[in-house]
Amino acid sequence: MTRPQMNWTKLGVRTVALAATGLMLSGCGQWRGIANVALPGGPGTQDGHSTIYIQMPETLALNANSRVRVADVFVGRVRTIELKNWVPTLTVDLEPGIKLPSNALARIGQTSLLGSQHVELDSPAEPSPTPLRNGDTIPLQNSSAFPTIERTLAAISGVLTGGGIPNLEVIQNEVNALLTGRADEIREFLNRLDTFTLELNKQRDDLTRAIDSTNRLLVVIAQRNDTLDQVLTEFPPLIQHFAETRDLFADAVTALGRVSEASDETLSNSNANLHTNLQDLQRPLKQFTRAAPHLVEAVKLILTAPFAIENIHKAIRGDYINTSATIDLTLSALDNGWLSGTGLSGMLRALEQAWGRDPATMIPDIRFTPNPLDAPNGPLVERGE
């Protein structure tokens, strides 16, 4: 072999070595051990397989490629184990034809004493009529794990080494001391507890209503987070202002106390007069109440007297006022209207009688008309009580 050919051979070998080294280094970030390398063949790898997702509270020592069993039969594999929204989630491939309800249970079990683990799928006591389909997720509440050998041995070790057993004797002695000689008190307590439970059971609707109301209140509060945040932000300065002006508040309270004391003294001294005034005020108010139905009609005459307001448009037309009046100018009427109460009262009435007027046709003489308050079957004017 000539020298140039040997150089080209060495260059090719070096290139292939560098490429292999780069490929291995680029894959180190995704390397998780030989147990996580996908294995060909086996249940769940053939065409037409279904894929489901299982949320687990913990995955223990479970690895990818772990077996999936239904009734202790190998029917699938765990493809990947990922953390989604801080919940461990298994991606499981099942062979075609596996029938499980949508509320199926998933448990992690130990296959052998050496630590190999698998996923067991099972139907619950009340299976759902809806089947478990491709792409469905078994939620966290339907998944759990069987006790492992490590946990079982740890529990047995704790019991055998005295962990908790001496405390049982202490608990038994304390319970015995509590119950000895107190049978009547305990019986009364149980009776009261039974009564309390019955009353609480009767009010369960009210408790439910209160819880629902509280829930609605919390929903309203949650919708007003911005307002509450603003209130909590502005409230501390207000508290600080109150703290700085607490002396003013104290002075205001003291002054209010002095005003209250002066008011009490004033009202106490005028209590008798105030009581009398209130009693006297009852009379006009009572009459005012009785006259209330007629006030509306009287108000109509206040601005348009002597005409009623509903007829004012008939009485006044332009520059003229239509009215009709009856004016009594007889001497007896003038005597009653102008001379009553004077020394000349009765003179015009006598003059009218001298001219031949019949006294029976004249208006009654006001001097001899009975007082309506003193008339028989009176009084004609009702007075306040």
**E strand or H helix at 138:** strand 137-138
Structure confidence by residue, pLDDT tens digits, 307-350: 777 777 777 777 777 777 788 888 888 988 888 878 888 889 89
Residue 28 has pLDDT above 50, yes or no: no
pTM tops 0.75: no
User: Rounded CA gap, 275 and 265, in Å?
Assistant: 16
Distance (Å) of CA 117 to CA 101, 108, 249: 23, 7, 74
User: Rounded CA gap, 195 and 189, in Å?
Assistant: 10
Residue 18 has pLDDT above 60, yes or no: yes
Identity at 216, one-letter amino acid code:
R
- pLDDT for the residue 293: 79
Structure confidence at residue 106 as a pLDDT band (50, 70, 90): very high
Can you state the percent helix, strand and coil of the chain, rounding each to 5?
A: 50, 15, 35
**E strand or H helix at 69:** strand 67-70
Contacts of 286 (CB under 8 A, 6+ apart): 384, 385
CB 76 within 8 A of CB 92: yes
Structure confidence by residue, pLDDT tens digits, 109-158: 988 777 788 999 999 999 999 999 999 999 999 999 888 888 888 877 77
- pLDDT for the residue 280: 84
Mean pLDDT on 173-193: 87
User: Which of 40-54, 265-279, 342-356, 366-380 has maximum average pLDDT?
Assistant: 342-356
